Amino acid sequence: MTAAALATEAEAVVSAPHGRRASPIAYLVAAVCIAVIAIMGAPMALSFLASIKTPADASAAPPRYLPQALSFGNYDKVIHYEAGLATYLANSAFVAFLTIAACIVLAAPAGYGLARFAIRGKEIAFLVLLAPIMIPYQAILTPLYLDFAKVGLVNSHVGLAIVHTILQLPFSIYLMRNSFEAIPREIEEAAMIDGCSAWRRLLHVFLPLAVPAIVTVALFAFINSWNEFLAALIFMSREASFTVPILLVSVRIGRHGAVDWGALQASVIISIIPCLAVYLALQRYYISGLISGAVK
Amino acid sequence: MPRARSLERWQGWLFVAPALVFVAVFVLAPLGQLVAMSLTDRSLLGGGKFVGFENYLRIWRDSGFWRALLFTGKYTLVLTPILMGLGFALALLTVDNTPLKRITRTIVFLPVVIGLSSSSLLWFWLLDEQVGLFNKLLVDLHLIREPIVWFVTADLAFWAVVISITWKVVGFGMVLFVSGIQSINPDILEAAVMDGAGYWSRVRLIILPLSRRVLLLTTLVSAIGSILAFDQFYIMTSGGPRGQTFTAVYWIYQNSFVSFRLGYGAALSIVLTLIILIFSTTQIAIAARTAET
């Protein structure tokens, strides 16, 4: 059954059966939806409005809901904060990029091997690949820190990206494997008859057919790396190597002791915009990835 | 042909090998080091004398750790039902694919994709007693007379975090429940309508029982997340007041990276790993046994 057919059926049956005219209950449900939108949307909307207040207005007590005047003063402060906003955005983007690359490079062949080859002792391979789910990364940060310190991976984008890859790898492999398993045998057999080696089959037959899975892997790797806090807090101790989440905490402490509320909300808005943008652009991939990752 | 097949088996390993090596080097080896470290008195400055199980015995006597563990348990037990209950209610509200309900779902889900540090600082501001709009709103609605000073008592700080996290992740359960409900065979629901079952009896007798698997798995995923809570407490309460809102991970962080007691922190990490192992293996077993293919 197609999703569209499912949707219309659900529309007809799950809720109170719709008559030809909208029932009072339908109005009530719509009102509740609008209330939910208002409540859930308010925090980010208010944060945005605070970020475009003048710095003095943003720190006014008691506060006002709406800006008295439009100002980019708070953003200006964040842009020139310490090493400069550009540095922190570049740090976060580079770590996320490395994480995405590592996830695809490791998970695509692994998913292919698990989906298309009769591997002796597959269970052992599975168990090892599931280890990052069963062992919380919070627990192994100390030994990782000590090892990384020896080889210069502390305060390094590469080091942090390795930790973020650990977090994403099981999910990425799982998605790639499922995606490869769904590709019909006949396509692969045709390529085999043409004399394609296993590597060439992966590169030229499987990967082009698994683009949605790759997009999903990249999307989750980006969002989770961009937002990861604990490892970044521990591993990135030098101001110039901070990622955006650590910048936020640093902005709150500020230079003079008192919290600069306007600059804080400006940096919150800056930190969430990339996440909201990629999510809204790739919503379908995100939701389907979430469902297969959590409950399948 | 047999030769080709054995080559294939070998080749399969070749594709999986990079990922296996990565996990072995960056997860399993550190886990081994963690176990070894937990049997020493290592600190960041040095040390590393073998002390047997002394660190583990010390955990017994560490009232701070037990308080943190108890607090983490309370947080998980309070938050999980709120998230699952509200998530399911929102799923029932928005399960049909009308434009308004789709928009509602999108707005409810937005906070899930932003960072915990962003949401925690956003709520730290909203809840502030001087400049916070949450307090102002409650005062303007005449729900309270004076702004609440949220982070001055452990109880209020606890609820402040619960409110912020509910806003942050309630959409996670909702989205999973919506997909679960939408995958129920419509014929069953239609038959129930024919039999004269009202909306609530369809929810109770059909939708809830058929969503059991999704509910169970989502509950486990959500509970594991709560047990490992750190960011929100580090940012909103700093473990205070008087160390009453330290979570298990936060306590490990304090020992390992603030007090530099690495050996002891390692022993604490092993205990945490064992706790998580129980939840994650349950989750994987349920998922595998009831896999939908």
Residue B124's Cβ-count burial label (10 Å; 0-12, 13-18, 19+) is buried
> CATH 1.10.3720.10 occupies which residues in chain A?
82-253
- Nearest in space to A216 (alpha carbons), one of A177, A262, A255, A254: A177
Q: What is the rounded average pLDDT for all residues in chain A?
A: 89
**Position A161 pLDDT exceeds 60:** yes
**Position A295 pLDDT exceeds 80:** no
Q: What angle do CA B248, B250, B255 make, to 5 degrees?
A: 100
Tell me the chain A residues in contact with residue B24 when contact means C-beta distances shorter than 8 Å: 128
Query: Which residue from B28, B207, B270 is facing A131, i.e. has the nearest CB?
Result: B28
Residue A188's pLDDT band, with cuts at 50, 70 and 90, is confident
pLDDT for position B293: 47
A233-267, pLDDT tens digit by residue?
999 999 999 999 999 999 988 766 788 999 999 99
Residue B133's pLDDT band, with cuts at 50, 70 and 90, is very high
CB pairs under 8 A between A and B: 306
Residue A199's pLDDT band, with cuts at 50, 70 and 90, is confident
Query: Which residue from B107, B132, B276 is facing A40, i.e. has the nearest CB?
Result: B107
Q: Which residues contact B63 (CB under 8 A, 6 or more apart)?
A: none
Q: What is the mean pLDDT of residues B7-13?
A: 75
Q: Which residues contact A1 (CB under 8 A, 6 or more apart)?
A: none
pLDDT for position A225: 98
Which residue has better confidence, A10 or A152? A152
Which residue has better confidence, A157 or B292? A157
Chain B, window 76-135: residues with a beta carbon less than 8 angstroms from a chain A beta carbon: 90, 92-98, 100-101, 103-104, 106-108, 110-111, 113-118, 121-126, 128, 130-133
pLDDT above 90 as % of chain A: 69
pLDDT for position A215: 96
Alpha-carbon distance A19 to A116, whole Å?
Answer: 51
Residue A127's pLDDT band, with cuts at 50, 70 and 90, is confident
> B26 and A166: CB-CB below 8 Å?
yes
Q: What is the mean pLDDT of residues A55-69?
A: 90
Which range is least confidently modeled, B76-90, B156-170, B179-193? B179-193
Contact at 8 Å (CB) between B153 and A82?
Answer: no
Residue owning tokens 């609820």: B159
Which of B6, B96, B221 is the best residue to mutate to test the A interface, defined by the most A CB atoms within 10 Å of its own CB? B96
Q: What is the mean pLDDT of residues B20-30?
A: 97
> A36 and B11: CB-CB below 8 Å?
no
Chain B, window 144-163: residues with a beta carbon less than 8 angstroms from a chain A beta carbon: none
> A46 and B136: CB-CB below 8 Å?
no
Tell me the chain B residues in contact with residue A123 when contact means C-beta distances shorter than 8 Å: none
**Residue burial B258-267, b: 16+ Cβ < 10 Å; e: rest:** eeebbbbbbb
> A32 and B257: CB-CB below 8 Å?
no
The domain A82-253 having CATH identifier 1.10.3720.10: the answer here is yes
> B262 and A142: CB-CB below 8 Å?
yes
Q: Which residues contact B208 (CB under 8 A, 6 or more apart)?
A: B215
> B12 and A119: CB-CB below 8 Å?
yes
Tell me the chain A residues in contact with residue B98 when contact means C-beta distances shorter than 8 Å: 11
Residue B46, SS3 per DSSP: strand
Which residue of chain B is at minimal alpha-carbon distance from A112?
Answer: B15
**Position A10 pLDDT exceeds 50:** no
Which of B26, B112, B185, B278 is the best residue to mutate to test the A interface, defined by the most A CB atoms within 10 Å of its own CB? B26
Which residue of chain A is at minimal alpha-carbon distance from B32?
Answer: A143
Residue A118's pLDDT band, with cuts at 50, 70 and 90, is confident
- Nearest in space to B186 (alpha carbons), one of A17, A25, A26, A11: A11
Task: Tell which CATH classification among 3.40.190.10, 2.170.130.10, 1.10.3720.10, 3.40.50.1400 matches the domain B63-289.
Answer: 1.10.3720.10
Which of A18, A27, A33 is the best residue to mutate to test the B interface, defined by the most B CB atoms within 10 Å of its own CB? A33
- Nearest in space to B30 (alpha carbons), one of A116, A142, A44, A237: A142
pLDDT for position A21: 59
Residue B5's pLDDT band, with cuts at 50, 70 and 90, is low
Which range is least confidently modeled, A35-44, A236-245, B43-52? B43-52
The domain limits of chain B are 63-289
Residue A47's pLDDT band, with cuts at 50, 70 and 90, is very high
pLDDT for position A71: 93
> B230 and A229: CB-CB below 8 Å?
yes
Q: What is the DSSP string of B165-213?
A: HHHHHHHHHHHHHHHHHHTS-HHHHHHHHHTT--HHHHIIIIIHHHTHH
pLDDT for position B9: 65
ipTM exceeding cut-off 0.90 for this assembly = yes
Which residue has better confidence, A123 or B59? B59
Which range is least confidently modeled, A248-262, B55-69, B126-140, B233-247? A248-262
pLDDT above 70 as % of chain B: 96
Strand partners of residue A173: none
Residue A126's pLDDT band, with cuts at 50, 70 and 90, is confident
Which of B8, B11, B13, B16 is the best residue to mutate to test the A interface, defined by the most A CB atoms within 10 Å of its own CB? B16
Query: Which residue from B93, B189, B281 is facing A13, i.e. has the nearest CB?
Result: B189
